[in-house]
Amino acid sequence: MPRKNNSAYRDFQMVWDPAKMEGRSAEACCRCRSRRAKCNGKAPCRRCRRSGAECIYLSPKEVARREDSIIMAEGIVDDLEELEQMMDRMNGEIGETKRQIAVSSDILNKDQSVSYSEAGEGDQQIHFNSDVAAYNSGTNCEMWTIKLAKDGMQIQTDISSSLQLYEFLARTVRPTTIHRAPTTIPQPVGTRAMMIKSPLPRQYPIYEKTLLFGFYKHVPIPIHQGSSFPVTVDFEERLLNLILLHINDCPPLARKFLNERFLKHDYTQGLQDFQHKALTYAVGAYFAEHFLTHHIDYTAIGLPATFCLEYFTADCSKRYSEKARDITFDQILGSELVSLNADTVDTFRIMSRCAINRGDYKQASKWLDMAISVATELGYHKAMQQCPSNAVVDADELVKAIKWNMCVNADLGLAALAKIPARTTPEDVRLNLLGVTIRATNMSADRLQFLQEYLYLGKNSAITRDVLEAWYSHKDIIPTAEDLDRFADAFARLEAEMPPKFRIPDFTTEAIPYQTRSSLISTVHVQIQQLCSLVDLYLPFLPSVHPNSSSLPPGLQQRAERACSDAAIMTTRLIGEYVKLSVCSSGLAFPLTELPISCNAHARLTESEDQEIREENRIWLVNALRIFEGTKEYSSGQEYVVAYTKSLRRFIARENIDTKLNLLKRPRIALEPFLIPNAVLI
């Protein structure tokens, strides 16, 4: 009897499908489902409650939709990589074609020159002799007649040989007779704003070479596996609430990343939606170290006095990042019911910054790509694109334009930092703020000052960008007095446009009262940026920097030295007072990219022939060293600050500058402490 074939018995076996036969067991949460672990179906489940993780339940349809989205995203990434490879091959073929065309043109020109110089045979020699004879005889025989008309040029010619055509073109079509339009259209100074100025120096290596002590270099935060202090779910939420309550204590830092709705939300009343919740966790991930170091007394919230703050904040930041990521992918991008808004753009931007801090530039680029994609979907890239000069714009339109500008600048800066391709180009940063004002209707004074702060910072960055482009885009460019006057007028015009509250008053006259610490810090922040730009403006005309001092008009270098010295001294002084006035005694609010600019000018001006300028800058260079040594970055051993401080000390020792110089002994530069009358520092 033949044996039965049971190889296909599973085709007839009843296999339980939980998606079709509901009720057989409890539905598993996302975490247990991914780990293929047993779940008790409660909220939260037993495993998530023990591990302190967030317990999220999704229906089988949502899980399938999420898996389909992941598969589709992977397919899109593969297609994109294939297209990039094809583009690289096409660029190589185009370059090879251009090279072959150039070689062929050289060979053709060489053959023609040989044929014209050597004696030909037959008809060519006869035409050549007859042409020369007709030309030399001075007869009325005209080989060509040129007439100018309104609609162009008419040419009537009796050319009958290639030699005559060559002679005609050689006599009429010359480089000196051809009118060429300028390669770039002349435009006013300051029409291309760049809200994040840090990428600018990296795009101009020649500018970096003028800095004696180098520019600010990003140093990734070390990654730690865990802290010695256990972090519970309750403690995470309590710490996050403290961070959110103190977010407005550091205005320049918070306003750089967050929208007005987020800053005004009352966090004692709980959170609102998934977008808002994801943004709060992203804020916790990015600001945890800063607020634990500078705003929150960690001993008062139950942390031991001897624990490692660096390890603990790194662990908290990692936990907050994971929660922000899970909510973003599971509840926002993985759901068709949740729409994208400004909170989503801010979340992606902050997550990108967190990845940069960890040194994970590839992941940062992905987050930034998503921020740019969502901003494009929301129409940020269209804001103020067709805005004329001297326009009055709405606040929402200005905020969208600024956020788009920040996304593009961050993309360009990350590409320069990590040496990776950028998704955007400098052409995408077409934000013209020249003469633009804000329509201040139904707006609080704080919000108006916040918008005006970034409006004038954007105008300043546009002028700074034109300065760097004019003087540092090529190595053979020599700065001229005409360019200096043009850019100086632009900065003077910007200073005149600023409202009185953004101007640092003369300390011998009556000052403008400031009602809050935030408004005062905002004013100092704007002025620091303006003064740093003036330092960069006059620096190329110093004798130790300008490549050809003899070409400058008499007295220009002395005027540039005085202006550069005044701007650098005021910059260093305001930075010191900015640190004192700010709630953040240092940390992320400390202007690490601005103080090196004034230090570079102080060091350059110690070589001035003017004794007064030389002595002033020697003293203020010592003062800058004191500012660096008084920061928490220096006391905690932050790599860049420690290295920069050592460079300053070596320079001061080499120049025999007395480190015990006292500013109060010199009345001319002994300024009173920066205190605004009637200011309420709250």
pLDDT of residue 666: 41
How does DSSP classify residue 7? T
Tell me the two tokens of residue 405. 């500008």
pLDDT of residue 637: 74
Most confident residue range from 213-227, 271-285, 525-539, 636-650 = 525-539
Name which residue leads in pLDDT, 644 or 445. Answer: 644
Place of tokens 């400390």: 590
Residue type, 517: R
Q: In this predicted structure, which of 89-93, 177-181, 370-374, 624-628 has the lowest mean pLDDT?
A: 177-181
What does the alpha-carbon distance between residue 82 and residue 343 come to, in Å, rounded to a whole number?
Answer: 33
pLDDT of residue 602: 94
Q: Is the pLDDT of residue 363 over 60?
A: yes
What is the pLDDT confidence band of residue 608, given thresholds at 50, 70 and 90? very high
For domain 25-81, give its CATH number from 3.30.60, 3.30.2020, 2.40.50, 4.10.240. Answer: 4.10.240
Name which residue leads in pLDDT, 557 or 34. Answer: 557
Q: Is 155 helix (H, G, I), strand (E, B) or coil?
A: strand
**Burial (Cβ within 10 Å: 0-12, 13-18, ≥19) of residue 679:** middle
- What is the b/e burial string over 589-602, where b = at least 16 CB atoms within 10 angstroms of the residue's CB? bbbbebbbbbbbbb
Tell me the two tokens of residue 301. 């919230």
Q: What is the CA radius of gyration of the chain?
A: 34
What does the alpha-carbon distance between residue 293 and residue 589 come to, in Å, rounded to a whole number?
Answer: 12
Region 512-522 average pLDDT = 69
**Burial (Cβ within 10 Å: 0-12, 13-18, ≥19) of residue 7:** exposed
- Inter-residue contact 487 to 653 (CB < 8 Å): no
Region 154-168 average pLDDT = 69
pTM, to two decimals: 0.67
What is the pLDDT confidence band of residue 670, given thresholds at 50, 70 and 90? very low
pLDDT of residue 386: 77
pLDDT of residue 267: 58
DSSP β-bridge partners for residue 149? 152
Q: Is the pLDDT of residue 6 over 60?
A: no
What does the alpha-carbon distance between residue 103 and residue 105 come to, in Å, rounded to a whole number?
Answer: 5
Q: Is the pLDDT of residue 556 over 90?
A: yes
Give helix 639-654 / helix 595-605 axis angle, nearest 10°. Answer: 10
Region 496-517 average pLDDT = 66
What does the alpha-carbon distance between residue 579 and residue 338 come to, in Å, rounded to a whole number?
Answer: 42
pLDDT of residue 3: 54
State the DSSP string of 282-330: HHHHHHHHHHHHHT--GGGGT--TTS-HHHHHHHHHHHHHHHHHHHIII
Q: What share of the chain is helix, strand, coil (3-state, %, to 5)?
A: 60, 0, 35
Contact partners, residue 240, CB within 8 Å, separation at least 6 = 280, 281, 284, 320
What does the alpha-carbon distance between residue 619 and residue 617 come to, in Å, rounded to a whole number?
Answer: 5
What is the pLDDT confidence band of residue 374, given thresholds at 50, 70 and 90? very high
What is the pLDDT confidence band of residue 145, given thresholds at 50, 70 and 90? low
Name which residue leads in pLDDT, 83 or 437. Answer: 437
What does the alpha-carbon distance between residue 10 and residue 8 come to, in Å, rounded to a whole number?
Answer: 5
pLDDT of residue 510: 46
Q: Is 145 helix (H, G, I), strand (E, B) or coil?
A: strand
Region 290-313 average pLDDT = 72
Q: Where are the alpha helices (DSSP H) in 378-480?
A: 395-418, 445-472
pLDDT digits 0-9 by tens, 164-205: 777 766 666 655 554 444 444 456 888 888 776 665 566 677
Region 92-112 average pLDDT = 62
Q: In this predicted structure, which of 86-90, 103-107, 359-363, 476-480 has the lowest mean pLDDT?
A: 103-107
Region 149-168 average pLDDT = 66
Q: Helix/strand/coil (H, E, C) string of 66-98?
A: HHHHHHHHHHHHHHHHHHHHHHHHHHHHHHHHH
Most confident residue range from 141-150, 319-328, 661-670 = 319-328
DSSP β-bridge partners for residue 140? none
Distance of CA 448 to the CA centre of its chain: 24
Give me the residue spans of the domains in the chain: 25-81, 495-682
Most confident residue range from 194-198, 610-614, 637-641 = 610-614
What is the pLDDT confidence band of residue 351, given thresholds at 50, 70 and 90? very high
pLDDT digits 0-9 by tens, 332-349: 887 777 788 888 999 999
**Count of positions (residues) in the chain:** 682
Residue 332 has phi, psi (to 5 degrees) of -105, -65
- Inter-residue contact 501 to 432 (CB < 8 Å): no
CA atoms within 13 Å, Cβ hemisphere of 201: 17
The reply to whether omega before 44 is within 30° of 0 (cis) is: yes
Distance of CA 337 to the CA centre of its chain: 33
Q: In this predicted structure, which of 264-273, 313-322, 419-428, 444-453 has the lowest mean pLDDT?
A: 264-273
Q: Is the pLDDT of residue 505 over 70?
A: no
- What is the b/e burial string over 146-171, where b = at least 16 CB atoms within 10 angstroms of the residue's CB? eeeeeeeeeeeeeeeeebbeebbeee
Tell me the two tokens of residue 391. 């326009």
What does the alpha-carbon distance between residue 348 and residue 334 come to, in Å, rounded to a whole number?
Answer: 15
Q: In this predicted structure, which of 100-109, 265-274, 621-630 has the lowest mean pLDDT?
A: 100-109
Residue type, 525: H
What is the pLDDT confidence band of residue 115, given thresholds at 50, 70 and 90? very low
Most confident residue range from 99-103, 295-299, 415-419 = 415-419
pLDDT of residue 219: 60
pLDDT of residue 200: 59
Q: Is the pLDDT of residue 472 over 60?
A: yes
Name which residue leads in pLDDT, 484 or 140. Answer: 484
How does DSSP classify residue 20? T
Q: Is 165 helix (H, G, I), strand (E, B) or coil?
A: helix
